Structure 1
């Protein structure tokens, strides 16, 4: 497996079964990606840290749940804390619903159960990368532009500043990084408040309400922050 100097198409496969790792790598490389394989959980974070130091962080991590050394869930948690925008897809033979939910609560972008089709893995990887890369560039909302300015902490709708607070900006940014993904209130709180302060779910609802109003002031009759009853919220720029 090649390990190139450009991180844009580099994928890290963390899998302790050589045959599975090789099969997945072959299909991904056949689709134009470059892969690097790690088979022990303890080696993952040092490898990522070294790549980060050289500005060579990969585009995505395919992460097995059951690994020798540090397990996949622990690694997912650490990756999310250190590199919040790094995409993670979890691979596992454990299909219990509690594991599925726990993996996603820890910040995994997707979850694939073994046995799986390598073609499905390639399709899921491409879908996750499209979502994760969407927030790095101006967004399109029904033909209009929604841009995030990290330097000024501003959100611009067709060039007009929405006047967001720091928390509202962070809330919008989190959801724009994964269009269509449903975030629970707990997940949004974790990403909005990095100091892990204790706030109520009503606080999140209040921020979402204010964010929606400011977007509606710029774009009347458009609802791009959607409520999902009993679950949370999602950013959905188009029908």
Structure 2
């Protein structure tokens, strides 16, 4: 195992300017008080770590729906999706993955397809683990349609300290499963809306890994997985 690759994880280019700012402040602090310099060093390392962009092994089986984010599965609910997603008005299962400030924040496409809709909403910055954050917080909603016609909704939701949602794709872009499509700066959540009748293969409290953890399988929509914390 290459320890260098484990420690020196690549950083996403979106983080370069932030690391540079943290480093510049740290250097300035060295002239003020030495303990502040070391605190600044720690903050700079954390900033680099926040914007890390590790390589992931993406499952290629057709019909799999993958987690778009690293974090904890915080909510699984049947809800009526918001109209801007274009998923109809029938309740579907929503799987929420909450990211804290120590999780990797690069977001990956849960499924391959074409981006049919992107809608940005201004809003509040409530704790992203709250259920009402799906409706009240700043968010960016995407709908991806697969070649078989299945439609998946994925929503980037800003959190308590997040102040910027970044999306790298545009309407009508084709996107591969596990493809990097965006990120959210400093604590947030991703919601995935499964097609009608599709059950999740994860449980609340489970740790999810972006681009690797299987949230659902469209080939076996009725399958259900439960879990027990122990």
After TM superposition, the score normalised by the length of structure 1 is 0.25
Larger strand fraction of residues: 2
- Where is the helix percentage greater, Structure 1 or Structure 2? 1
Q: If the length of structure 2 is used for normalisation, what is the TM-score?
A: 0.25
